[in-house]
A = this chain, B = another copy of it.
Amino acid sequence: MPDDPREHHQRPSAQGSRIDPYVGAYAERAKGMVASEVRALFAVASRPEVVSLAGGMPNVGALPLEQIGEIVRQVAVEQGGTALQYGSAQGDPALREQICDVMAMEGIDASADDLIVTVGSQQALDLVTRVFIDPGDVVLAEAPTYVTAINTFAAFQADIVHVTMDDDGVVPEALEESLANLAAAGRRVKFFYTVPTFQNPAGVTLTTERRRRVLEICDRYGLLVLEDNPYGLLRYEGERVRALRADSPGNVIYLGSFSKTFSPGFRIGWALAPPAVRAKLVLAAESAMLSHSSFNQQVVGRYLATYPWQEQIKDFTEMYRARRDAMLSSLEAQMPAGSSWTRPQGGFFVWLTLPEGLDAKAMLPRAVNERVAYVPGTGFYSGDHGHRNMRLSFCYPTPEQIREGVRRLVGVIEGELSLRDTFGSAIAPPGSSADAPTPDLP
C-alpha cells in the first residue's frame, strides 16, 4: 500500500514484511512459536511405504467399533438434551466420579471435586502452565522430556531446566542439586514436571525407592510436582507402581488421559489438583474454551459404565507387549556395537543411543529415504542435546513392520558408521540441530 500522510500510528505493515504484515504485532510469547524444520520430513514419512517408528499414536484399530457405535448412538438419542448442550468448565460430575475409580488402580484416593476434565492431558498441561508461569520462571523437567510439554512451557516463556535421568528414572541427587543451585541463584522454580512411569520419550520408570526420595525433596523445597501419567495402566511386565500423587495428595498435580487406554479421538484427559489450584484451573478452562464437549464426556462415561474396559486394557497390553518384544529382540539381534537402548516395562517408547560420532537428526533424511522414520533426540530437550539419540515407538506398527523397520534402520546406521570410519566423526555440525522440537504427536 502507498504511504498515507494520515498513517503515523501502529500500522503493522510498516514494521512487518509483505508476507506477514502483523509480524510486529505478535506477543512476546509468540516468538517461540515456530514450525519445526523436520515437519516437512514427517509429511513424507507418513507415506504408506515408510515404517514409522516416529509417532505416538495408539492402535485404535484394536477398538470394538460396532460397540462404540452403539454407545455414541445411545448418548445422542437418550441423553441428547444434556449431551448436545453446553456443560460446566469443570466437567461432567458423573464422569469425574468414574475417573476417580480409574485412578484408584494406581493407588490414588481422590475426590471428584478436585478433578477437572480437559481436552486431553495436553490441555491440562497448558492450564497448569497458564496458572503458574510468569516469563522467566523455571520449570524442572527430566532430560529428555515430552516434546509438547516443552512447547507449552516455552509458549508461556518458562525457562526449562533439565534434570538427569537414568534407567531408574530421574536421579534424586541431581534434582536436589538443581533445586539448591536455582535457590542460590534466586530463581523462582514453579514445578517439577515428570512422566514417572514408562516415560516419554525414554521409556524408563521411576523406582519405588526413588519415588519416595523425589517426593521428600520436593516437599522439603515446597516444590509442586506435575505428574503426567498417560501410560501407567499399559504395563507389560513387572509390578504396578503407585502414582506419586498416591503418596503426596497436597503437593502433586496429577494428569491422566483416556487417549492411550481408550481413544484419543474424544480428547478426554484430566487434572487432579489441590482444591485451591483446581479452582484456578477451572477458571482458566472457562476462559480457554467455556466447557469441554458434553457429548464426548458422556460417551466416555457410558463406555466406562457399560463396556468391560479393564478387559480392553488387557487386550491392549497383550498387543503392545508383542510389539515391544518385537522391537527389543530386533534391536538385540541387529544393532551394531556402540549403540544402547532402554528396555521399557510398559508404554510406547524405546530411547536409543547411537554409536559415537553419529547424529540422529542429520541421519533422518537418509532414514526416510530408506523408508523408516523416528524422532531425533534433539526434539526432547530445550537446549542443544540429544544428537546421538532417537525415540523409537512400537505402538502403531505391527510386529512384522517393527522388525522390518529396525532392519532398515540398522542398514542406515551401518552406512553412517562406514562414513564415520572413512571421514571421521564430524559428519554433521552438532549446532545445526539445536532448533525447535519436532511436531511429533504424544
Contact = CB atoms under 8 A, between A and B. Distances in A.
Interface stretch (A60-68, A331-339, A397-405): A60-68
Contacts of A77: 65-66, 68-69
Nearest to A297: B265
A293 B290 contact: no
Nearest to A67: B76
Interface residues of A, number: 102
A225 to B, nearest CB: 12
Nearest to A396: B85
B264 A85 contact: yes
Interface string A289-301: 1111111100000
A295 B292 contact: no
A313 interface: no
Given A220-B7, A264-B84, A284 B148 contact: no
Interface in A364-411: none
A134 B28 contact: yes
Interface in A232-268: 250, 259, 263-267
Contacts of A322: none
A203 to B, nearest CB: 20
A312 interface: no
A22 interface: yes
A341 B283 CA distance: 31
Contact of A179 (B9, B12, B179, B223): B9
Interface string A29-46: 110011100000000000
B10 A286 contact: no
